[in-house]
Structure 1
């Protein structure tokens, strides 16, 4: 369980690094007339991602979930691939990437990197991680609960982001 706790702490540290990048990018986009959309769902997103990490630690501990190698190792690999995809998205979007929906009017949509293949590859990474990270240590209740909650949140988030991008591109 100790190595799993270290994994979750490493993911939390990675999230803090993401927030630092997002803060820097938000300042850049606002300096370039960026407009923020979807402020109402942002606190829910933060709570969901924070809750995921907390429950990843609590469920194996409180429910005595074992590490099952046949499940845990593939899920660890999937979580690592999700991280790689997320950072590919971040580096591809450069200063346009953010944890918030902030768009610069008149900016063109990015069509390189993972965006050549998918419109929202970062959300593929998020979905994979929310499923995989808890299952590394058999936290199936956390995986199920947060996958369902994330699906509801992504319905709102993607709709918001698509509308914001459509407005920005047509501006």
Structure 2
């Protein structure tokens, strides 16, 4: 890969690590306030999926010898748009944003920002990222496989999250 692509790859990984730290801080705050975690059994599969995603990109780049992959400004623009949307989701939820299903009883349901238009916008954004990011690196098999795996996990996650929101008296 060209140096710019390595920088981008490392940036994305660092971004994810920072987000995990934010999520951990938010998790601690929510649990201190009486937050209840649901759906713990499937969470490990998110860790597996996202770790395998980055390893798959690297593997595919190395195996397919994509060292001369050209920087695609159109795909990069789409990537930037997804990052802006991701930040919008995180900032809108504030301390309620998390990678886990943690519900704070008697809290208002967030219905502003992107959540005014779609119930789970972050999951849509992640699905798009799992397609766009591999294309940036020429990892076309990864771009096909991982969005499908994401949708499969969402088929478990979204109903579980909706049920958790409904169960614990979230204020509409």
Asked if Structure 1 and Structure 2 have the same fold, meaning a TM-score greater than 0.5 normalized by the shorter chain, the answer is yes
- Report the alpha carbon displacement of residue 153 of structure 1 after superposing the two structures with TM: 0.6
Alignment match, 2:83: 83
Q: Tell me the secondary structure at the aligned position of residue 169 of structure 1.
A: coil
In structure 2, distance between residues paired with 1:98 and 1:151:
19
**Paired position in structure 1 for 2:59:** 58
Distance 1:119 1:136 in 2: 28
TM-score normalised per structure 1: 0.92
Q: SS in structure 1 opposite 2:131?
A: helix
Match of 1:135 in 2: 135
Question: How far is 1:68 from its partner?
Answer: 5.2
- Shifted more, 53-62 versus 155-164: the winner is 53-62
Listed as ranges, the gaps of 5+ residues in structure 2 are: none
Structure 2 partner of 1:40: 41
- Kindly indicate whether the alpha-carbon contact (under 8 Å) linking 1:78 and 1:128 is maintained by their aligned counterparts in 2: no
Q: Describe the shift of the 1:85–1:169 C-alpha distance in structure 2 as closer, same or farther (beyond 3 A).
A: farther
Q: Secondary structure at the match of 1:106?
A: coil
Provide Cα deviations, 1:147-171, integer angstroms capped at 9, x if missing partner: 1111101111111111111112358
User: Taking structure 1 as reference, are residues 162 and 152 closer, same or farther at Cα in structure 2, changes over 3 Å only?
Assistant: same
Q: Deviation at 1:138?
A: 1.8
| Contact 1:55–1:142 (8 Å) recurs in 2 | yes
In the superposition, the TM-score normalised over structure 2's length comes to 0.92
CA drift of 1:4 comes to 1.7
Flag structure 1 segments of 5+ consecutive residues without an equivalent. Answer: none
Residue in structure 2 matched with residue 18 of structure 1 by the alignment: 19
Backbone CA RMSD of aligned residues: 1.5
Aligned length, in residue pairs: 169
